[in-house]
């Protein structure tokens, strides 16, 4: 973004979390007039459908034989990021599994046709950083702050798209607010595979408190064993305490007949 000449923003949300550079000229396209320039001033607001606008822009630009081929630079940056991701896979401070390791395992094992419902919190940021989509559909609640969204949304996937694999990703704080719904999933044999990152903390809130130079206050959690809870409800539950246990645990959960929960004890700092 820092090295760009122009930002063309297609249907993306602008908020305090987006990090859009205000010193670059911006063309923002959205079909919601209230979204145009709502949080950040834009140079050219375009009211319209993203697909239609993108085709019109491409047609109007025409051929540019003098343009710089940036594919080499993009490939170099991608290689640097891959090396960084591989380094983070090996991170181990003795406080739990890293988020990079969790989502590396999911990238390799989650079915291509899965619908993945991602909760609110650091688990969502880490998912975006490390999970590499193939053909999966991802459901998120955007900037609504609706913590607890993940597992109920996966139940909705089961009801709305019964031929696709529902997968939920949550933190411990989010699932803790709706954990009784697991009994409904058991009752109807919903084949939801739930990956729960448990760090015994509301990590996103703690991060925001630190960023605002506030004391970290009232974010610690006293959790039950979520994997044991899943078993008590009649589903499948497995607890992961080390990176080398991830593959076997997730594979077993994906193959389970009915709802399955993989509780991963994660390091609150390795997000």
- Residue spans of alpha helices (H) in the chain: 50-61, 71-89, 99-109, 122-130, 150-160, 172-176, 181-187, 203-211, 226-232, 246-255
* pLDDT average, residue stretch 231-247: 96
- pLDDT at residue 148 in the model: 87
- pLDDT at residue 101 in the model: 95
Q: Rounded to a whole number, what is the distance in angstroms from the first to the last CA of the chain?
A: 23
Q: How many CB atoms lie within 10 A of CB 139?
A: 17
DSSP letter assigned to residue 248: H
Q: What is the pLDDT of residues 54-100, one digit of tens each?
A: 999 988 987 777 888 889 999 999 999 999 999 998 888 888 999 99
Domains assigned to the chain: 7-61 (no CATH), 89-265 (3.40.50.970)
Q: What is the pLDDT of residues 128-149, one digit of tens each?
A: 999 999 999 999 987 667 888 9
* pLDDT average, residue stretch 118-124: 89
- pLDDT at residue 93 in the model: 82
In the chain, what percentage of residues exceed pLDDT 70? 94
Are 181 and 207 spatial neighbours (Cβ–Cβ below 8 Å)? no
* pLDDT average, residue stretch 89-117: 93
* pLDDT average, residue stretch 253-261: 97
Where do we find the tokens 């599994």?
97
Residue 18's pLDDT band, with cuts at 50, 70 and 90, is low
Which has more pLDDT, 146 or 156?
A: 156
Are 121 and 171 spatial neighbours (Cβ–Cβ below 8 Å)? yes
- pLDDT at residue 17 in the model: 64
Given a cut of 80, whether residue 157 has pLDDT beyond it is yes
| Residue closest to 86 by CA, chosen among 72, 107, 70 | 107
């Amino acid at each position: 973004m820092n090295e760009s000449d122009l930002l063309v923003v297609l249907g993306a949300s602008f908020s305090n979390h987006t990090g859009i550079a205000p010193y670059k000229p911006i063309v923002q396209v959205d079909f919601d007039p209230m979204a145009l320039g709502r949080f950040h001033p834009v140079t050219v607001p375009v009211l319209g459908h993203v697909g239609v606008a993108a085709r019109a822009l491409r047609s109007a630009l025409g051929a540019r034989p003098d343009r710089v081929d940036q594919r080499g630079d993009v490939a170099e940056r991608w290689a640097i990021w891959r090396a960084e991701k591989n380094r983070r896979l090996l991170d181990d401070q003795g406080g739990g599994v890293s988020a990079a390791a969790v989502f590396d395992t999911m990238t390799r094992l989650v079915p291509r046709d899965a619908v993945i419902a991602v909760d609110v919190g650091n688990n969502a940021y880490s998912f975006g950083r490390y999970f590499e989509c193939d053909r999966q559909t991802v459901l998120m609640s955007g900037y609504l702050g609706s913590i607890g969204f993940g597992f109920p949304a996966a139940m909705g996937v089961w009801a709305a798209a019964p031929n696709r694999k529902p997968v939920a990703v949550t933190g411990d704080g989010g699932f803790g607010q709706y954990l009784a719904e697991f009994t409904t999933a058991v009752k109807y044999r919903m084949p939801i595979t739930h990956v729960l990152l448990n760090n015994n903390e509301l990590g996103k809130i703690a991060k925001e408190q630190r960023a605002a130079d506030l004391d970290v206050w009232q974010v610690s959690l006293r959790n039950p064993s979520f994997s044991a809870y899943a078993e008590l409800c009649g589903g499948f539950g497995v607890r992961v305490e080390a990176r080398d246990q991830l593959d076997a645990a997730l594979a077993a959960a994906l193959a389970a007949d009915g709802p399955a929960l993989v509780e991963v004890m994660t390091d609150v700092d390795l997000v």
